[in-house]
């Protein structure tokens, strides 16, 4: 057997017993990736385009220009940050995600993205290209989630 055919056998298993790719396997990671993209869309809207947020939504929670003050006592009055006291234990550190949309959606972005990556890798061993397709499908779902959220806010902007 020549070296080229051995290399081809190693790279792509084309035997009739090779497992076929199933789109069902990509549903969970793609769903988590979509949620991660949508979460990042909310985060970026809150931080970079707060004027797109509807007036009926709580601006103190959604508008990144002012929502950072939610972590502090008397956050409605401007003081130098070193003089501000945390609103509650953890509000400026590990519980900051409970105080505003920026931190909430950054957290859901990270955890959804991590979950998508874990979901791709968990399970019985598959050919390498199955993982590649899962990653490509998940990347497209992530982009779609981000696009849907940011474009929706662009349409509904004031």
Q: What is the DSSP letter of 89?
A: T
Q: Is residue 22 part of a domain?
A: no
In which residue are the tokens 């990347």 written? 139
* Domain assignment of residue 23, yes or no: no
pLDDT tens digits for 108-128? 999 999 999 999 999 889 999
The number of distinct structural domains making up the chain is 1
Segment 13-72, tens digit of pLDDT: 555 567 888 899 999 999 999 999 999 999 999 999 999 999 899 999 999 999 988 998
Q: Which domain does 61 fall in, by range?
A: 29-75+84-155
In this prediction, residue 34 carries a pLDDT of 98
Exposure string (b/e) for 24-46, b if CB count within 10 Å is 16 or more?
A: ebbebbbbbbbbbbbbbbbbbbb
SS3 14: coil
Contacts of 117 (CB under 8 A, 6+ apart): 29
| Contact in structure between 121 and 65 (CB atoms under 8 Å) | no
Residue 20 neighbours by CB under 8 Å, 6+ apart: none
Which H or E run contains 47? helix 27-48
Q: What digits encode the pLDDT tens for the residues 72-98?
A: 887 666 666 667 888 999 999 999 999
17 found inside a domain: no
Say what the pTM is. 0.81
In a domain, 18, yes or no: no
Whether 41 is in a domain gets the answer: yes
- Decide if 1 is inside a domain: no
Q: Decide: 28 and 138 in contact? Cβ < 8 Å.
A: no
Domain membership of residue 148 (yes or no) is yes
Burial 86-111 (b: 16+ CB within 10 A, else e): bbeeebbeeebbebbbbbbbbebbee
> Does residue 111 form part of some domain?
yes
Q: Which of 38-42, 130-134, 153-157 has the lowest mean pLDDT?
A: 153-157
């Amino acid at each position: 057997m020549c070296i080229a055919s051995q290399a081809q056998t190693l790279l792509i298993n084309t035997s009739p017993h090779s497992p076929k790719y199933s789109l069902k396997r990509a549903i969970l990671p793609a769903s988590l990736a979509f949620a991660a993209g949508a979460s990042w869309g909310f985060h970026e809207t809150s931080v970079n385009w707060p004027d797109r947020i509807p007036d009926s939504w709580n601006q103190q929670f959604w508008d990144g220009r002012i929502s950072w003050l939610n972590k502090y006592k008397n956050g409605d009055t401007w003081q130098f940050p070193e003089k501000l006291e945390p609103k509650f234990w953890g509000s400026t550190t590990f519980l900051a995600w409970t105080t505003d949309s920026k931190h909430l959606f950054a957290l859901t972005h990270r955890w959804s993205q991590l979950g998508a990556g874990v979901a791709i890798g968990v399970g019985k061993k598959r050919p390498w290209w199955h993982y590649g397709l899962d990653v490509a499908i998940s990347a497209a779902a992530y982009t779609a989630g981000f696009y849907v959220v940011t474009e929706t806010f662009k349409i509904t902007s004031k």
